[in-house]
Structure 1
Amino acid sequence: MTAVQPTILATCGGLTGGAWTDSAYGPLLHHAIELARVEGRAPRVTHINTAGGDQRHIEGAELEAARAAGVDATHLRLFPHPNLEDMRAHLLAQDVVWVSGGSLANLLALWRLHGLDHLLAEAWRSGVVLAGGSAGAVCWHEGGTTASFGPGIAPLADGLGLVPGSLAVHYDSDPNRRPAHQSAVGAGVLPDGYALDEGVGLVYRGTDVVDVIAERPGVSAWRVRRTADGGVEETRIVPRVLGTPTADAPDLSPTSTARNQIEEARTPR
């Protein structure tokens, strides 16, 4: 077992521009590796790009970034067919699975067709850190909002459900995301949950949020909750900036405001 408990890192982040390479592992991706607690060897990271159609040029950029980061990286592809004879054995031997963005709807459909949804759930229970950005963050939740069906933003209430509630991403960079997500939660199409600005992540241990992190200051996570009258209430959660002491993390103790926000978001209504 790598992680102490089943662990998920859901983010709006991943690769960044590299200084000597086209791409580099960004702070959130590095944090996923830290959560796996690897010692004495190179971390093993599998990238999954189903949502982006398993494009080889993206795969090349990720492998180059992994080499620069000292990571033993591989890809799991489903196009034109699975590239691994034993996907289960491969996934269970990893420290981190990082899922990139793209079409959330296509990702879920293909994973289920190939049984990858069950294999990833088994890996999660075994201590492999599941992580990703955008569609690779929303997929672990009960549902979220997505551009999978066209240029507009639509709800998709059929996520894997490893962690409870809904998730919205790109909350501060795409002006269509916030109103679409609020509408879906307010109408009861999606359950209460969270939303992430660019560069922000939620760390789950089991099904509980235990840390809210960011690559830089000035960005936020949001607790998004349906009110009794069918409206929506948003509460800002200020994340801990990566590289600062853990003592600077949002207070998630049972009496804290941030912890109460998280508990309320999980409470059925």
Structure 2
Amino acid sequence: MKIVTIGGGEISELETLDLDSFICNQTGKSSPKALFIPTASGDAEGYCKTFHHVYGERLGCKVDFLLATRSDFTQQDVLQKILYSDLVYVGGGNTQKMLAIWRDFGIDTALRLAGANGTILSGLSAGAICWYEAGLSDSDRFSADSGSSWSLTRLEALGFLPGAFCPHLDKEQRHAPLQELVRSSGVRAIACDNGAAIFWEGGVAQVLASLPDAYAYVYREHAGEVRIERFTSGQNLPL
């Protein structure tokens, strides 16, 4: 499988444009069929328009959408749209709710089949967490009452990639809770700043970046301590 997991950045402000172009180029096609899955945002209309502007108008893709929260959505839509696509891009938002919907409709199964058949899998934030075994997620904040407290928590994901993933490391003060997750569970974690991404292919994980000073990190537990390594664009992660 080829999978690109983006730590964050505003697609509407073209902060991830170099990464988006890389994703398109991995298809090997001049006008790839790009499927946007915005389940985590509740299929937000504005998000869909932004994706169409970037991937359709700027990058020359033939864009389609899989809108799983609509009442007329069917399992047949899943197979037709996902298996027809050259690349799949999953948007950010509520990871927990997204994964629950996917499992109800068999979207997770279709994505695994598509990836095995050569479709490029990708996404940002929630759309990056989903491919790993687990992630450090802010899904609790979407269900918290206004003004009430919530915390970042471990969330089990699809397991296409090993370890746990943490997006937005530089922007949302996730370092301390990620350290605690790694210390308490022993899981290896990969984290990305906004504008940084990991490209997985054939068991190799390469760092990409679209913003200056955007890095990827590996967190490992050793003898009760958490060791952290930082990696720049073009480097491979130790796996």
Q: 1:191 to 1:25 in 2, by over 3 A?
A: closer
Aligned residue identity for 2:166: A
Higher relative contact order (CA 8 A, sep 6+): 2
Aligned residue identity for 1:236: R
Tell me if structure 1 keeps the 8 A contact 2:15–2:211: no
Q: Distance in 1 between matches of 2:17 and 2:151?
A: 26
Q: What is the match of residue 192 of structure 2?
A: 196
TM-score normalised according to structure 1 size: 0.79
Q: Distance in 2 between matches of 1:25 and 1:195?
A: 16
Give 1:58-97 correspondences, 5 Å limit. 58-69=47-58, 70-81=60-71, 82=73, 85-97=76-88
Q: 1:206 to 1:116 in 2, by over 3 A?
A: farther
Tell me if structure 2 keeps the 8 A contact 1:194–1:224: yes
Tell me if structure 2 keeps the 8 A contact 1:24–1:65: no
Q: Quote how far apart the aligned CAs of 1:95 are.
A: 1.1
TM-score normalised according to structure 2 size: 0.89
**Can you list the C-alpha shifts for 1:129-159, whole angstroms capped at 9, x where unaligned?**
0000001001100111111012644223411
Q: Distance in 2 between matches of 1:24 and 1:223?
A: 23
Tell me if structure 1 keeps the 8 A contact 2:135–2:166: yes
Secondary structure of 1:124's aligned partner: helix
Query: What are structure 1's unaligned runs of at least 5 residues?
Result: 1-5, 240-248, 253-257, 264-269
Q: Distance in 1 between matches of 2:158 and 2:96?
A: 11
Tell me if structure 2 keeps the 8 A contact 1:202–1:213: yes
Q: What is the match of residue 139 of structure 1?
A: 130
Tell me if structure 1 keeps the 8 A contact 2:220–2:226: yes
Q: Does 1:185 align with 2:182?
A: yes
Q: CA RMSD in A?
A: 2.0
Q: Distance in 2 between matches of 1:84 and 1:109?
A: 14
Q: Quote how far apart the aligned CAs of 1:207 are.
A: 4.0
Equivalent of residue 207 in structure 2, options 191, 206, 212:
212
Secondary structure of 2:63's aligned partner: strand
Q: 1:128 to 1:83 in 2, by over 3 A?
A: same
Identity between Structure 1 and Structure 2 (%): 26
Equivalent of residue 124 in structure 1, options 97, 115, 131:
115
Tell me if structure 1 keeps the 8 A contact 2:165–2:191: yes
**Can you list the C-alpha shifts for 1:214-239, whole angstroms capped at 9, x where unaligned?**
0033221001111222x211111112
Equivalences, count: 230
Tell me if structure 2 keeps the 8 A contact 1:15–1:26: no
Q: Quote how far apart the aligned CAs of 1:195 are.
A: 0.5
